[in-house]
Chain A
């Protein structure tokens, strides 16, 4: 693909995404007994982004999600998908154009995995060949073994069922995907794994996704934007995870995000966003006398020893250098190795963890090829925190 055509393609993509932004205009949901689930909600969920709705139970986040595909009706206000008012569209037809993933996969127990995935294409009247090809592609996309396609849901694990649920939602390639606590019913290890795969998948499919969760960690990890709801269906704040951490709108948001807010913020930044110190380094064939004079000039407690490829070998501290023979090569001395390696793409939270458990005052940071680019120390990170 030429550069130009690629640009054109992405512009077209953007057009189709624009048509599927979801806009709430003064939406209220009141039940017949008078309880208000959602109160005058104004919210625009941008096309092609993953928005997470999060909040304590009973905050109206699920109701908000379910109004999008008319599983719940609105009492007041307008809800637009692109420029279409959802209430003007036939509910059944609307739902076939919106993927839906639920907490307990909600798979049909009497249909095979392949038939479960094929549900919406069949409702839309696709021909058999096209359905078969689409099912095969989806089985692969969500990372299922193709031998599972002829099994029934009860023969699969919870995690596998959740993958089928996702494949079923994506089957007709809808521009919008709604997910109601999709990872809540699987155990924590599988959940982390599914979340990561899901993020990768979203980078590839680029749909407008709305996800409901009660888990703030999940919200911050997955969401491009996060809408925090408070009790009684009020929107407390709608922003990117980084902004929620750096500029929370209210006490409620601060409390909801939790006490380790600062640490969460570190988790959102990567080492390459920082200006790294060049640090004090020496090649492995340097002699002790010269290394000693570097250290004295710099007033540092140690030096990073590099090999021929500029990959760090270890940390040489002043105590060791002081006692060594002047003419010895420094790589003949006992160097302290780091237990973890830090790369530019690591986040600051893991950097802090690594620093706490590492010898010496600084830790080298490597580029993707494993070459030394600079050092980071605890002081730098603590400065970031405040």
Chain B
């Protein structure tokens, strides 16, 4: 470990970390914005579930590097390429967990909400989503951790957050950037995961002491 290198490049390391967080955050956000309406449709019309799962599943199986290269002719070496790729990878997990969560709301609870005079929208937001929240957040956690690892791959198309440190270390045959990139990436994954667990605990007081 060369701490001198760390000190003189702290700016660059920080920027890489921030970009990493930004890519992960935006990919999760866009992923959720696409998966959520898709999940609502699949819950409403169960016939859509199979095809949606197949499409998002196929996307999940495309090797990440291949996907980025496939996107290059359209979006070039931009952040868009990286974001589109990462977003597609979140879809399967988010979609499946949102559907599972909403399906897990017991029919009698749904029926009660209808019978008491909830409008469909209010029923979704005030009853079904809160009850589905633990399963949905579980999906976000898996998606977040998956994406945090995958961002580093986008370094090959000039993005990549902490992945850039790997490239630097590799080209210079110099271990310090590799170690820093590795440690920060792992710490970020653990921190995000714990934060999500904390948020869920705070949002679901009825779950405390159940498990």
Q: Answer yes or no: are A and B bound together in one complex.
A: yes
A residues neighboring B (CB under 8 Å): 69, 71, 92-96, 100, 102-112, 119-120, 123, 152, 154, 168, 178
Which segment, of B37-45, B104-112, B187-195, faces chain A?
A: B104-112
Q: How many A-B residue pairs have CB under 8 A?
A: 59
Asked, given contacts A106-B108, A110-B131, whether A71 binds B115 with beta carbons under 8 Å apart, the answer is: yes
**B57 on interface, CB distance cutoff 8 Å:** no
Q: Are B111 and A119 in contact (CB under 8 A)?
A: no
Q: Does B67 touch A at the CB level, under 8 Å?
A: no
Q: Which residues of B sit under 8 angstroms from A105, Cβ to Cβ?
A: 108
When distances are taken between beta carbons in the complex, the residues of chain B under 8 Å from A110 are 127, 130-131, 204, 206
**Residues on B with beta carbons closer than 8 Å to the beta carbon of A102:** 108, 111-112, 115
Instruction: Provide the bound-state CA to CA distance between A263 and B112, in Å.
Output: 38
CB distance from A112 to the nearest CB of B (A): 8
**A120 pairs with B108, CB closer than 8 A:** no
Give Cα distance in the complex from A182 to B122, angstroms: 26
Contact B130 A119 (CB under 8 A): no
Evaluate contact between B131 and A123: CB separation under 8 angstroms: no
A110-B206, A123-B117, A123-B122 given; name 6 further pairs at CB < 8 Å.
Answer: A92-B117, A95-B115, A102-B108, A102-B111, A109-B131, A152-B206
Instruction: Specify which chain A residues have a CB less than 8 angstroms from the CB of B171 in the assembled complex.
Output: none
Tell me which residues across on chain A come within 8 A of B108, comparing CB atoms: 102-106
Residues of B in contact (CB 8 Å), total 18
Check if B115 sits within 8 Å of A96, measured CB to CB. Answer: no
Within 8 A of A (CB), among B173-187: none
Contact A106 B111 (CB under 8 A): yes
A287 to chain B, nearest CB (A): 72
Contacts A104-B108, A106-B108, A110-B130 given: A69-B206 contact, CB under 8 Å? Answer: no
Task: Give A63 Cβ to nearest chain B Cβ, in Å.
Answer: 14
Cβ-defined contact, B114 with A106, below 8 A: no
A109/B116 in contact, CB under 8 A:
no
